[in-house]
Amino acid sequence: MKRRYFLGAMMAAITTGCSKLAETKPVAALLESSDDWHKAAHRLIGGRYSLAREFPPEDISPFFRGNGTIQPDSPKYLAHLANGFADWRLQVGGLVERPLSLSLAELHSLPQRTQITRHDCVEGWSAIGQWTGPQLGGILALAGLQDRARYVVFRCADRLGGDEYYESVDLIDAFHPQTIVAHSLNGHPLPVRNGAPLRMRIERQLGYKHAKYLTGIEAVESLDWIEGGNGGYWEDRGYHWYAGI
Amino acid sequence: MKRHTLATRLWHWLNVLALVVLFMSGLNISNAHPLLYWGKWGFEAKDAWLEVARFPGWATIPGYYSLAAARHWHLLFAWVFALSLLVFMIASLINGHFHRDLVTTRREWRWSAVRADIASHLSFDFHRAGSKFNFLQKLSYGFVIFILLPLMIFTGMALSPAMDANWPWLLDMFGGRQSARSIHFIVAWALLAFSVVHVILVLLSGPLGQMRAMITGGRR
């Protein structure tokens, strides 16, 4: 019994020490920088466009769990929902030559990609589903990126704890062939809990990158001036911007 | 000649540091979704093979629930853990540590020899005739260095969606991401069990001399 208390006391001391260390500037910076090294290593090993595994239909999980916002409650969203999203528009703007405002019908008329992929939540669980939609790269090509553009920001209709949800990726993930603006899950329009009517699929990264309830796509030069400045809702709350880990 | 080479000593202490931080931040990460599954997917209790207990703050890094901060510690020290193991392995091939101290002979595998080794262990006689480690030591160190530690690295990489795209064989090797996650968890506890036994045996076999040897190198 005594030995167990000793082990517990040691662990508690380590816990306290680590917390104190993490409050100092250099250690905090070091801790937050590791996603850059992981990203560099991943792209060195696999190249920029390695493909996430695509599964056969029998691997699709019987249910696709929703997380974060599963029912946006703004009157505007509820009106769109009641209307079957007939007037939903996807705005494409920022550093582009030709800003676009696309209806769901227009998104359906673009070349479509269907993929059965695994969705990994940062919490640890996974679900497998079949997603359909146009490639983000095709939409960005229609709008024409300006030379200064370095990131693509996703704007969303949902709020979590009072703040707008948003996300961002760099141009490598934006133009990745499996990065699509999905309107369908398992052959049906997206359920509300999974992001109706549009959500992003960023297949080589964790679930929080896959922005739901998508209203806008914005090409930017820097993420510093957007919301909390870290490139995403969860990133502003301490999570890694590069979520391939 | 020193009992432990500089490479072995450096790696040993770096590895202690990395394993402690990885284990304790891992417990914090486990609290985010304390359910384990087999196969490719899993997201709710009815599919889980194990519902893990919630780990208290004193056992986790940081000392309160924070998935974001725990991932910072875990994914930084994953580098320390994996790179130091890699350097130690290369150094031990070059300096002969593996060949000299860990390779077992056919004679040691004989049942009578194994039985004698177990008997001397049980009577706390750790005398080693000729070589540095006795058979059970070679076996357990070899199992940890060549099987458990690499398993932690590869199951950890299989949890990364980007590494799964880069190396899809990671998924085939473990039977899916959720199986890899379960194995990652099981091996973490196996390493804790090894560490507890390891420390107890050090305490039983002259802890001061053992510690001095692992710090200064000691004498053969």
Q: Is the separation of the CB atoms in A206 and B68 below 8 Å?
A: no
Q: Alpha helices of chain B — where are they, by DSSP H?
A: 6-32, 67-94, 97, 111-122, 135-143, 149-158, 161-166, 169-174, 177-204, 207-216
Q: Alpha helices of chain A — where are they, by DSSP H?
A: 2-23, 25-46, 75-82, 104-109, 136-143, 171-174
Q: Is the separation of the CB atoms in A126 and A155 below 8 Å?
A: no
Distance CA A198, CA A191 (A): 10
Residues 6+ away with beta carbon under 8 Å from B54: B31, B34
Distance CA A116, CA A55 (A): 5
**A42 and A58 fall within a common domain:** no
What's the N-to-C CA distance of chain B in angstroms? 6
Q: Pick from B32, B44, B57: which is nearest to A124 by CB? A: B32
Number of domain units in chain B: 1
Distance CA B205, CA B215 (A): 16
Q: Tell me if B163 and A244 make a contact (CB, 8 A cut-off).
A: yes
Q: Residue B28's closest chain A neighbor by CA?
A: A123
Predicted-complex ipTM score: 0.94
**A40 and A91 fall within a common domain:** no
Q: Give the residue-averaged pLDDT of B144-165.
A: 98
Q: Residue A35's closest chain B neighbor by CA?
A: B75
Q: Is the separation of the CB atoms in A155 and A217 below 8 Å?
A: yes
**A116 and A15 fall within a common domain:** no
Residue A98, classified by CB atoms within 10 Å of its CB into exposed (0-12), middle (13-18) or buried (19+), is: exposed
Tokens of B6: 């500089």
CA distance B30 to chain A (A): 8
pLDDT band at A3 (very low <50, low <70, confident <90, very high): low
**A141 and A207 fall within a common domain:** yes
Query: Phi/psi at A6 (nearest 5 deg)?
Result: -60, -45
Is B153 a member of any domain? yes
Q: Residue A236's closest chain B neighbor by CA?
A: B68
Is A242 a member of any domain? no
Task: Spell out which residues of chain B touch residue A11, defining contact as CB-CB under 8 Å.
Answer: 24, 58-59
Is B138 a member of any domain? yes
Identify the domain containing residue B149 by its residue range.
6-216
Residues 6+ away with beta carbon under 8 Å from A106: none
**A106 and A143 fall within a common domain:** yes
Is B1 a member of any domain? no
Q: Pick from B43, B69, B161: which is nearest to A127 by CB? A: B43
Identify the domain containing residue A205 by its residue range.
52-237
Is A245 a member of any domain? no
Task: Spell out which residues of chain B touch residue A122, defining contact as CB-CB under 8 Å.
Answer: 32, 67, 71
The neighbour count for residue A188, using CB atoms within 10 Å, is: 10
Tokens of A105: 């019908």
pLDDT tens digit string along A90-137?
A: 999 999 999 999 999 999 999 999 999 999 999 999 999 999 999 999
Cis peptide before A197 (omega within 30 of 0): yes
**A215 and A181 fall within a common domain:** yes
Tokens of B9: 């000593």
Q: Which residues pair with A111 in a beta bridge?
A: none
Tokens of B115: 């039985």
CATH at B143: 1.20.950.20
B→A interface, C-beta within 8 Å = 20-21, 24, 29-30, 32-33, 35, 37, 40-44, 57-63, 66-69, 71-73, 75-76, 79, 159-168, 171, 177-178, 181
Q: Tell me if B161 and A38 make a contact (CB, 8 A cut-off).
A: no
CA distance B43 to chain A (A): 5
**A163 and A85 fall within a common domain:** yes
Is A144 a member of any domain? yes
Q: Tell me if A118 and B162 make a contact (CB, 8 A cut-off).
A: no
Task: Spell out which residues of chain B touch residue A234, defining contact as CB-CB under 8 Å.
Answer: 68
Residues 6+ away with beta carbon under 8 Å from A54: A115, A116, A117
Residues 6+ away with beta carbon under 8 Å from A43: A172
Task: Spell out which residues of chain A touch residue B160, defining contact as CB-CB under 8 Å.
Answer: 38, 42, 244-245
Q: Pick from B60, B67, B178: which is nearest to A15 by CB? A: B60
pLDDT tens digit string along B93-135?
A: 999 999 888 998 888 899 988 898 888 888 877 766 566 788 8
Is B71 a member of any domain? yes
Q: Tell me if A61 and B41 make a contact (CB, 8 A cut-off).
A: yes
Number of domain units in chain A: 2
pLDDT tens digit string along B160-203?
A: 999 999 999 999 999 999 999 999 999 999 999 999 999 999 99
Q: Tell me if B75 and A38 make a contact (CB, 8 A cut-off).
A: yes
**A198 and A147 fall within a common domain:** yes
**A43 and A67 fall within a common domain:** no
pLDDT tens digit string along A44-76?
A: 999 999 999 999 999 999 999 999 999 999 999
**A155 and A208 fall within a common domain:** yes
Query: Phi/psi at A166 (nearest 5 deg)?
Result: -155, 165
pLDDT tens digit string along A203-234?
A: 999 999 999 999 999 999 999 999 999 999 99
**A13 and A66 fall within a common domain:** no
Q: Is the separation of the CB atoms in B135 and B117 below 8 Å?
A: yes
The pLDDT > 70 percentage for chain A reads 98
Is B43 a member of any domain? yes
Q: Pick from A15, A42, A128: which is nearest to B162 by CB? A: A42
Task: Give me the residue label for tokens 């669980």.
Answer: A125
Q: Residue B182's closest chain A neighbor by CA?
A: A124
CA distance A153 to chain B (A): 20
Tell me B175's DSSP state.
T
**A110 and A175 fall within a common domain:** yes
CA distance A17 to chain B (A): 9
